[in-house]
Amino acid sequence: MRGVRPATTFLVFLGLWWLVARYSSVPPFMLPPPGDVAAALWTQRGLLLGNTLVTLAEILLGLLCGTVLGGIAALGIVFSPVLQRWLMPVLVVSQAIPVFALAPLMVLWFGFGMAAKIIMAMLVIFFPVTANFADGLRRTPPGWLDLARTMNASPLAVLRHIRLPAGLPAFGSGLRVAAVIAPIGAIIGEWAGASSGLGYVMLNANARIQTPLMFAALFILAALTIALYVLVDRLLRRLLYWAPDTTGG
Amino acid sequence: MNTPPGILVRDLSLNFGGVTVFEGLGFEIAARKFTALLGPSGVGKTTLLRIIAGLEAPATGQVAASDGAPLAGRIAYMAQQDFLLPWASALRNVMLGATLRGAKPEPERALHLLERVGLGGQAKALPQTLSGGMRQRVALARTLYEDRPIVLMDEPFSALDSITRLRIQNLAAELLAGRTVLLITHDPLEACRLGHALFVLSGTPARLGAPLHVPGPPPRAADDIALLQTQGSLMRTLTEAIAP
């Protein structure tokens, strides 16, 4: 029963799409019917699979590096006033500049290969991961810290056994956001200059008016993002078995 | 555990938010006895306990052990909330002190303590699966695991229903006997059941009245005549303390 609702939503969406494509005056090169997109998915499966793997690798590596760096930055911000003074402006500036505007620069600096895309994905997730985790680390209940003090705990032991685990739910919130927006970073990176990846396929297909192929790439990207979110969410729920979920979900 | 010392509080002063909480406050907490501290809300009982625990510093004054040795490392602290770590089992929560000090945890001793508080079967349970009374008993076991000569307790049983509270009071009296215990409570019955000496803290700046002494060893029966008489005197003292 669990999959019924999303499946229904998906089917209704497909039906509406088909109706608009079939009966409105929108030409197929602007809105191809779902059947054409499915056909493109099948006939171009070799091309799509290869490029999907490239984008997936960029997203996963960006997610991994961004999460590790964001985690380290959050620790630095919370525990070192000096680092906080130096890192906070960098963090705010990294959000003030639209990431899209940085993409051509990244491609110029790091080339047409994967590195520029991984860095783009890192850039978009860095802030949510850092901000959420830093927030979680700052909000350790004072009662736990008092208890630790009466137990003669060292600051490092408090960090390891109390502050870090207590900050994990907030870190998880950042990671969930990161899982959804990391693909945006990778695709923007590909649009700015690439020789492979789903973003590259979309740009090429668009230029050649192969709209069904573009839609197919878009469909894969959406499915990839949803799958990544679900995976991260499940993993976090399992890891944070102790954190209360008051929605009952 | 070494012989528990008494606690000497001398000339304590503290200002908080423009209010003089304590000024020249001094008293003595007897060694190896239960001392109960009562008084109206906001008078500074918790602050006093936190100063003795070393969690807050007074503006002036000293807190010292009667044997002259430093107090640090000889105090266990139990707060109103259980402060159990939600990600750790009851057993691991009991051994938290050892984990935090990098010492070798002693699961047998922790399990024995959980058995003493009646939770031997819940060693692997996470705190959120336990009732309020059970959680507070785990916190008591955690306090006992520290095996400190001095135990400071800040309304540790106030959130429990009255029957659970009576039971856990019996347990605390039995398991903490022979230690120097300072217990903050709002419950005159609890003070009279457990305390050898009862102090009332009142006024601004806060002052301690002369202590009331309850005859007989704790835990005393709730219908004990001497206890009821002391409870009556205590109620009168508290009412006078709150009166404008």
The answer to whether residues B145 and B118 touch, using CB atoms and an 8 Å cutoff, is no
Give yes or no for A243 touching B (CB within 8 A). yes
Same domain? B37 vs B141 = no
With CA atoms as reference, the chain A residue closest to B102 would be: A157
With CA atoms as reference, report the closest residue to A180 among A130, A104, A129: A129
Alpha-carbon span B179 to A241, nearest angstrom: 38
The answer to whether residues B121 and B178 touch, using CB atoms and an 8 Å cutoff, is no
Same domain? B140 vs B155 = no
Share of chain A above pLDDT 70, in %: 98
For the segment A12-30, the average pLDDT, to the nearest whole number, is 91
CATH code of B1's domain: 3.40.50.300
Same domain? B160 vs B240 = yes
Every domain of chain A and the residues it spans: 33-239
A93, pLDDT greater than 70? yes
What's the distance, CA A84 to chain centroid?
25
The type of residue at A125 is I
Which of B147, B170, B188 finishes a domain?
Answer: B147
The predicted-structure confidence for A155-202, as pLDDT tens digits, reads as follows: 999 999 999 999 999 999 999 999 999 999 999 999 998 889 999 999
With CA atoms as reference, the chain A residue closest to B73 would be: A152
Q: What is the dihedral of CA B22, B28, B33, B37, to 10 degrees?
A: -20
Residues of chain B with pLDDT under 70: 1, 244
How many structural domains are present in chain B?
Answer: 2
The predicted-structure confidence for A98-120, as pLDDT tens digits, reads as follows: 888 889 999 999 988 999 999 99
| Chain A hits for B151, Cβ within 8 Å | none
Bridge partners (DSSP) of residue B200 are B38
For the segment A214-227, the average pLDDT, to the nearest whole number, is 95
Alpha-carbon span B44 to B42, nearest angstrom: 5
With CA atoms as reference, report the closest residue to B188 among B169, B174, B205, B172: B169
Give yes or no for B75 touching A (CB within 8 A). yes
- Are A157 and B77 a contacting pair at CB < 8 A? no
- Are A143 and B81 a contacting pair at CB < 8 A? yes
| Chain A hits for B76, Cβ within 8 Å | 150
Residue A101 is predicted with a pLDDT of 87
A246, pLDDT greater than 70? no
Same domain? B153 vs B132 = no
The answer to whether residues B204 and B243 touch, using CB atoms and an 8 Å cutoff, is no
Prior bond of B205 cis (ω within 30°): yes
| Chain B hits for A150, Cβ within 8 Å | 53-55, 75-77
Sheet (strand B60-65) strand order: B19-29, B7-16, B60-65
Segments forming the whole domain that contains residue B35: 1-74+149-244
Same domain? B134 vs B155 = no
| Chain A hits for B99, Cβ within 8 Å | 157, 161
The answer to whether residues B66 and B6 touch, using CB atoms and an 8 Å cutoff, is yes
Same domain? B132 vs B162 = no
Residue B244 is predicted with a pLDDT of 61
For the segment A83-111, the average pLDDT, to the nearest whole number, is 86
Alpha-carbon span A82 to A92, nearest angstrom: 16
Structure tokens at A116: 């520029």
What are the helix and strand counts (H, E) for chain B? 8, 10
Give yes or no for B130 touching A (CB within 8 A). no
With CA atoms as reference, the chain A residue closest to B54 would be: A150
Structure tokens at B122: 């819940």
- Are B81 and A148 a contacting pair at CB < 8 A? no
For the segment A66-79, the average pLDDT, to the nearest whole number, is 93
Which of B130, B147, B164 finishes a domain?
Answer: B147
A6, pLDDT greater than 90? no
Same domain? B163 vs B240 = yes
pLDDT band at A90 (very low <50, low <70, confident <90, very high): confident
Alpha-carbon span B225 to B231, nearest angstrom: 10
| Chain B hits for A147, Cβ within 8 Å | 77, 79, 83, 96
HSE-CB for B211 with a 13 A CA cutoff: 18
Same domain? B89 vs B170 = no
A248, pLDDT greater than 60? no
Give yes or no for A242 touching B (CB within 8 A). yes
Least confident segment among A60-74, A75-89, B144-158, B188-202 = A75-89
Same domain? B138 vs B154 = no
pTM for this model (two decimals): 0.84
- Are B55 and A162 a contacting pair at CB < 8 A? no
A219, pLDDT greater than 70? yes
Residue A209 is predicted with a pLDDT of 92
Q: Phi then psi for A127, rounded to 5 degrees?
A: -65, -55
The mean of the pLDDT values for chain A is: 92
DSSP 3-state assignment of B27?
Answer: strand
Interface predicted TM-score (ipTM) of this complex, two decimals = 0.89
Residue B128 is predicted with a pLDDT of 94
A247, pLDDT greater than 80? no
Give yes or no for B29 touching A (CB within 8 A). no
The CATH H-level superfamily of A33-239 is MetI-like (1.10.3720.10)
Residues in chain A, overall count? 249
Same domain? B190 vs B214 = yes
Residue A137 is predicted with a pLDDT of 94
Residue A249 is predicted with a pLDDT of 46
Same domain? B51 vs B161 = yes
With CA atoms as reference, the chain B residue closest to A169 would be: B87
| Chain B hits for A242, Cβ within 8 Å | 86-87, 126, 128
Nearest to B83 among A147, A152, A158 (CB): A147
What are the helix and strand counts (H, E) for chain A? 11, 0
Same domain? B68 vs B162 = yes
pLDDT band at A96 (very low <50, low <70, confident <90, very high): confident
